[in-house]
Amino acid sequence: MQTAIADYLKSKLPGSPDVSVANLHRIPGGASRETWSVDAEWKEDGQSVSRGFIFRRDPDASVLVTERDIEFQVMSVARNHGVPVPQMYWLEQDGDWLERPFFVMERIDGCETSPMIVLMDPRFYPARERIGEQFVAVLERIHVMDANDPDLAFLGPVPTPESCAATEIDRWDEILARDALEPQPVLRGALSWLRRNLPPPAQRVVLVHADYRTGNYLCSPEGEITGMLDWEMAHLGDPMEDVGWACIRPWRWMGNEQVGGLMEREQFYRMYTEATGIDVNEEAVRFWEVLGNLKLAAIFVTGGRSFCDGRTHSPMMAFLSRNFARLELEIMDLMEA
């Protein structure tokens, strides 16, 4: 693979016949795409240039079928709108170079994504408050992107404020119906509960990251969020969807009630409203938390389907699919069932 990447970079870096690559390694995590890191060195105008690249390659099977071109485009647009996102370089839609489609982006060094490090490494302790502030500030920069912005036209028709929630219920209902290998009474009951507990219409229709959480941002020990990652589920919708997703228990990490392991819920709501001017409706967040837990369970169900159908041998798919019972427990608590 290292040779193929070197050949690929030679084709993309004009006037650089001697690109050398080193330290190719796969980065753990990334259940929807493989993430590979590589160091490259070449000459440009007689000067030696070295740079780290990230290759995000389609997997043999995924927890979720997502469009790489959507992810690539939305990250490019978000970066142009001031959201901290790695620079996006190239998108390859076929498998000519690396057997499967992939895209290439900047590697941001000196930062961490793992919640185990960002929240539990003593180097990051002094920056906790700063990370919390940044967590809200970056979300504001995403939600300020209006759905009618022509730059976001590739995301399809803009939903009405009234239809955002129902559209997302339909999306996950379909995925569950397609991929569930067993009856799912809790998840199916929750879908019915969601349909009769729709939130108020969205206050604004905006770009929704749809996986906005601790674990998906690159953060420096000083508390600077330098890159928001994993945009594969991004779409136009209700900003409360991201607020609810950020709050769900699986992303609290520290085992207590703090949102994203960073701050109390009330503080998060207050800071978000101050930054965006969007009021946080607690009942709406409850709706989006039920849907968020269901969505995560459905993602795991999809991984289990890929594993059991023999499309992947990834132990992660098997493991995740066997481990969403606690999400069901949380869903039933939130529904007060």
Judged by the rule CB under 8 A, the positions of this chain that interact with other proteins are 25-29, 182-186, 188-189, 191-193, 196, 249-257, 315-316, 318-319, 322-323, 325-326, 328-330, 332, 337
The least distance separating other proteins from the CB of residue 1, rounded to whole angstroms, comes to 13
- Can you tell me the distance from the alpha carbon of 263 to that of 65, in angstroms, rounded to the nearest whole number? 32
The least distance separating other proteins from the CB of residue 170, rounded to whole angstroms, comes to 15
Q: Which is nearer to other proteins, 28 or 150 (CB)?
A: 28
Q: Which is nearer to other proteins, 22 or 49 (CB)?
A: 22
Contact 27, 35 (CB under 8 A): yes
The least distance separating other proteins from the CB of residue 312, rounded to whole angstroms, comes to 13
Q: Which is nearer to other proteins, 166 or 332 (CB)?
A: 332
Q: Which is nearer to other proteins, 249 or 295 (CB)?
A: 249
* Torsion-angle region of 88 (φ positive above 0: left; ψ -120 to 50: alpha; else: beta): beta
Sign of CA dihedral 330, 333, 335, 337: positive
The least distance separating other proteins from the CB of residue 248, rounded to whole angstroms, comes to 9
Contact 190, 259 (CB under 8 A): no
The least distance separating other proteins from the CB of residue 202, rounded to whole angstroms, comes to 24
Q: Which is nearer to other proteins, 73 or 113 (CB)?
A: 113
Q: Can you state the percent helix, strand and coil of the chain, rounding each to 5?
A: 45, 15, 40
Provide the 10 A C-beta neighbour count for residue 200.
15
The residues, any chain, with a CB within 8 Å of residue 86's CB and separated by 6 or more, are 54, 75, 79, 105, 106, 107, 108, 227, 229
